[in-house]
Amino acid sequence: MQTVTRKDCVEAATPSIARKTRFRLLAQRGISRQYGFTVDSLCGSPLCIRDEHVIYRQWKALTKPTKWGIYAERLAALKVGKSFEIADYPHSQT
Give, for all 94 residues of the chain, the pLDDT tens digit. Answer: 556 665 688 888 898 898 899 999 889 988 888 887 888 888 888 888 888 888 888 776 556 566 666 777 788 788 888 887 776 666 555 5
- Cβ(50)–Cβ(31) below 8 Å: no
> Helix or strand or coil: residue 70?
helix
Q: Containing H/E element for 4? A: strand 3-4
Q: State residue 4's pLDDT score.
A: 61
Which DSSP string do the residues of 14-51 spell out, in sequence order? SHHHHHHHHHHHHHHHTPPP-TTEEEEETT--TTB--G
How many CB atoms are closer than 10 A to CB 72?
A: 17
Provide the whole-model pTM. 0.57
